[in-house]
Amino acid sequence: MSYQDIYKVWSTDPYFDEKTREELLAIAGDEKEIEDRFYKSLEFGTGGLRGVIGAGTNRMNIYTVAKASAGLAKYIVDSGEEAMKRGVVISHDSRHFSPEFSKIAASTFAAYGINVHITDELRPVPMCSFAVRYFNAFAGVMVTASHNPPKYNGYKVYGEDGGQVTEEAAAAILSNMAEFEDVRKVKTSDFDEGIASGIITRFGVEVDEAYTDMLMDLIIDKEAIARQADMSIVYTPLHGSGNKPVRRILKRAGFNNVHIVPQQELPDGSFPTVKTPNPEDPAALTMGIELAKKTNASLVFGTDPDSDRLGIAARCEENGEVVYKCFTGNQVGLMLLDYILDSKTKAGTLEDKSFACTTIVSTKLCASVCREYGVELQETLTGFKYIGERIKIDDEFGDKHFQFGFEESYGYLSGTNVRDKDAVVAAMLVCGMAAQSFDRGETLFDRLERIYKKHGYGFEQAVSFTLEGKEGIDKIQAAMASMRADLEAVKTADEAAALIGGPSVKAVRDYKKSVRYDFASGSAETSELTLPVSNVLLYELGGDKGIDWACARPSGTEPKLKIYFGVYDSDKDEALARLEKIKAEMSAFVQNKLQ
């Protein structure tokens, strides 16, 4: 059927609820809006669904959630009776319709005879991942759109290891969903009847306690925490799901002076006090910093709605005045990596064959830190699912020991009982790291400077080009295709530099074609890349330490083309100047491709 035909069905068939039909009838005659809502089905990617809330096949609503759940249900049923019995864990955050989407998912699984463990209130991503392993479930679903604006929601799928679903499983689920292209074919059941029959059960305090006990085993330098127990800390949940678990672990860990931003404490899917509920944006911590000034806090941090990302700011002095400055995700990740490896080395608890993980668009200084402590560093594609896979392969089923993983977008993980970003454990670790620094008479900025002086200065930034709707997605894909086509004609480093209008280009990695083009030899030699296929281009730019880079990739969660940059130098000012130059040149290059 054409998108107009599908629109007509959705707007007139009594199968769809009255609000859905009213919403669609209200846009009658608006062909562009109708096309955007119905020209395709909301795509089920490697992690699940994410989209704008609303009526239509290309929107997040109870029907598209039921369709995805039916696809996952068939995958579970095809995996056998034992998989059905182990069932699915479902959790949700504070976003609009998250509870409703959780219930329709549970009702769909129950209709196909699959047991369901559903949270009794909102709980964050890491607790969903943990609960999958805790219940030995076959799969998990987290209803969230993470840090996206309020108009979004999503449906994130986990495998039996607690990590994001594998690409093979995602492909099978997507294939299954094709059977339910007409969402009226999806079987659902009554939620309350499912509770009464026992096929749907709620979980709560039991998992809270087990998760917190697990985190307690990951605490580092308890003596420093005890000595700095009264340090003033400000925390904001940004209207999300981190409020209770974060406060619970900080109290258990021994921090006695934690202040919560009252205006941002309670769940609210409109996120009324921030432009965006994203701790990557320093503005999200504005209220936290204001409270920190009143409470003389040393540390401020915030978590996003599903509490898988954490951003921090710390007190320092500038020109004789007390100010609060934010750290980037790369800086926090670098400090936490050094904190964990250094503390464990000194305590004699760092195991042989230890490894850490980061991504190809995160700071390159991690390699130097890991070399200092004799720890292997593994780089993955962007996305924590790949870090989770490395834990499964090398720690759970291998003979290596995972110590820490992070990505530049403010996601961190310690321990192996969660297989996704965990802002709750990150909050505990950041507070512990701050306590250790204060105990040594240094600030967190002193700590970072000490790492820079030892390993070199590194500065990373990212620029995003947002293009909404079908037209925007088409432009992003066309831009990536054009950049990729350019490489076919380039033979030398000079030609590659001229192509992007500035910096020298040693090589380009095309992860979609799994090819690295080496221009240093003057003959554009190629070699094979071993990471999974992904629509990513990474430009190796040389620089003082030979590891400067820029990277272009479409966002997997938002309608954005993201450009990342990293520059490294023994001289701070040189690094900053070169970063600005590369950022301007690469941004202009990409902007031209998007025209």
On whether both 405 and 538 belong to a single domain, the answer is no
Quick check: is 13 in a domain?
Answer: no
The answer to whether position 35 is within a domain reads: no
- Predicted pLDDT at 522: 67
Question: Do 244 and 177 share a domain, yes or no?
Answer: no
Q: Is 19 a domain residue? A: no
Same domain, 562 and 419: no
3-class secondary structure, 573 = helix
Q: Which of 11, 41, 91, 146 is catalytic?
A: 146
Is 4 within a domain? Answer: no
Whether residues 272 and 134 fall in one domain: no
Distance CA 389, CA 349 (A): 24
Same domain, 302 and 337: no
Any domain includes 32: no
My answer on whether 475 and 419 are in the same domain is no
User: How would you write the pLDDT of the chain (595 residues) with one tens digit per residue?
Assistant: 899 999 999 999 999 999 999 999 999 999 999 999 999 999 887 678 999 999 999 999 999 999 999 999 999 999 999 999 999 999 999 999 999 999 999 999 999 999 999 999 999 999 999 999 999 999 999 999 998 999 999 999 999 999 999 889 999 999 999 999 999 999 999 999 999 999 999 999 999 999 999 999 999 999 999 999 999 999 999 999 999 999 999 999 999 999 999 999 999 999 999 999 999 999 999 999 999 999 999 999 999 999 999 999 999 988 888 899 999 999 999 999 999 999 999 999 999 999 999 999 999 999 999 999 999 999 999 989 999 999 999 999 999 999 999 999 999 999 999 999 999 999 999 999 999 999 999 999 999 999 999 999 999 999 999 988 778 888 999 999 999 998 888 878 888 888 877 778 889 999 999 999 998 776 678 899 999 999 999 999 988 888 999 999 998 767 899 999 999 999 999 999 999 999 999 999 999 999 8
Final residue of a domain: which of 157, 177, 203? 203
> Distance of alpha carbon 26 from its chain centroid, rounded?
35
- What are the percentages of helix, strand and coil residues in the chain, rounded to 5? 45, 20, 35
Question: How far apart are alpha carbons 140 and 150 in whole angstroms?
Answer: 23
CATH of the domain at 412: 3.40.120.10
Question: What is the sign of the dihedral through the CA atoms of 319, 324, 330 and 332?
Answer: positive
Q: Cα separation of 222 and 431, whole Å? A: 11
DSSP for 386-452, please give it: HHHHHIIIIIISSS-EEEEEEETTTEEE-SSS-BS--HHHHHHHHHHHHHHHHHTT--HHHHHHHHH
**Is 14 a domain residue?**
no
The residue out of 456, 471, 492 marking a domain boundary is 456
How many angstroms separate the CA atoms of 70 and 87, rounded? 14
| Domain, as residue range, for 245 | 211-327
Per-residue pLDDT, 51: 93
Strand ranges (E), 59-179 = 88-92, 116-119, 139-143, 152-158
- Residue at 11 is within a domain: no
Give me 330's structure tokens: 């790369």
The beta-strand segments (E) located in 343-414 are: 354-359, 376-380, 401-407, 411-413
* pLDDT value, residue 159: 97
Is 102 a residue of the active site? no
Domain-terminating residue out of 173, 203, 233: 203
Do 216 and 336 sit in the same domain of this protein?
no
* 281 and 373 inside one domain: no
Q: Do 578 and 555 belong to one domain?
A: yes
Does residue 24 lie in a domain region?
A: no
Which pLDDT score, from 0 to 100, does residue 536 have? 96
86 with 175, same domain: the answer is: yes
The reported pLDDT for the residue numbered 132 is 98
pTM given for the model: 0.94
Chain-centroid distance of CA 419 in Å reads 12
State whether 531 and 500 are in the same domain: yes
Domain count, the chain: 4
What would the DSSP string read from start to end of 245-267? HHHHHHHHHT---EEE-GGGSS-
Q: What's the CA dihedral at 59, 60, 66, 69 to 10 degrees?
A: 110
Same domain (yes/no): 286, 173: no
